[in-house]
Amino acid sequence: MDLPMVDAVVDASGLSADRARFLICMLSSFPLALFFSTVLHPSRAGPTLRHAFQVSVGLIFCFFCFKTQIFLLLLDTGVCYLLLLLCSPSLVHIAVFVWAILFMSVSHIYRMYTDYNGYTLDFTGPTMVITMKVTSLACSVYDGMSRKEEELNPDQKILAVRKVPSVIEYFSYTFSFTSVLSGPTFNLQDYLAFINGTDKPQGPEPTGYIAGILKFFYAVFFISLTFVCPLTFDTFFDTEWRDSHSFLYVAGYMYVVAFVYRCNYYFAWILADSLCNISGFGFNGYDANGTAKWDKVTNVVPTKTECSSSLKLLVENWNVGTALWLRRVCYERTSWSPTVMTYLLSATWHGFYPGYYGCFLSTAFFILTSIMAVI
């Protein structure tokens, strides 16, 4: 028996208990996000109170979903913060990167040992998000406190951090309730601007309510497809079924199944984006028509992902935050074969199933080949 609320969701939806907990947290986040953007608006609440609310709710969600595994998340982030404080700025990015990747790798291996090939939601999900955040922060500290201005590219100049964040700023950033469970990832400078209320222009303030509501229904559409088409890859392993159908039928079936699986990711990422917008986070200026853009933390563009005409377009529109992290932390800082090293890091970030390495290293090969073909 679980909590009555969890049991009720399990009975009504047929979801497993871990997914029911995740869904409860995500849906309860919306009234909390609305409260945050209104009652705790920067004009009414100071940064400390806004930080405290973000980290408190984020920790409650982590405990609700992962119970005692929350202490592993605190260990991970706590060690990283100590490294930020104690390491030389010239080495901090290396120290934090090594610790975060090692901790995440051990988490992946533990998950493989206890739930091989399973889809149970556990602390490894938040660990992957936290890894992106802390390594990005460490690189920004290195850029801002160790490197000369002329050594930085334009993006690094904007994201450079000139001093280590305070304890509450750091843990608010890593455990923000709008992103800790499923992302999106973002950099510290954008997050602090959002908390301090300096991320929007003076004058009439744009709000993300309409954008957030539209994205919410967009997310519901994708999760609905998984109930309408409850297909799985298990059928593919049925030799009798596979032999009784043509190759084209089997290939088409597998494509549809893969799309249904992707719908779960579309749901989680778009719902998180919606949540950020309603809380006031995600404003990205105005378009040519003067309409406010709320895509700063958008993590996926389903139409462009499904209809991409090249591998480049696919990468640019799927798991956008992770792609940016890989570029800023690895690709722009690696001298030996940046493309290969970046996709090797991507595979490691995902876990240690052999398929990840086959997928990402072959992607690196295809990209290098396409570049050579153009040259």
Task: State whether residue 134 is helix, strand or coil.
Answer: helix
Token pair belonging to 309: 């005409």
* Residues 6+ away with beta carbon under 8 Å from 282: 208, 211, 273, 276, 294, 295, 296, 297, 298
- Residue 97 contacts residue 348 (beta carbons within 8 Å): no
Active site annotation includes 93: no
Q: List, in sequence order, the alpha helices (H) in the chain.
A: 4-13, 17-38, 47-66, 70-86, 92-114, 124-145, 154-159, 167-174, 188-196, 209-228, 239-243, 247-279, 302-306, 311-317, 320-329, 338-350, 354-374
Side-chain-side CA neighbours of 102 within 13 Å: the count stands at 9
Q: What is the largest CA-CA distance in the chain?
A: 67
Active site annotation includes 264: no
Pick the catalytic residue: 187, 277, 317, 319?
319
Task: State whether residue 201 is helix, strand or coil.
Answer: coil
- Residue 175 contacts residue 59 (beta carbons within 8 Å): yes
- CA pair distance 273, 79, nearest whole angstrom: 29
Q: Would you please indicate which residues are annotated as catalytic (active-site) residues?
A: 319, 350
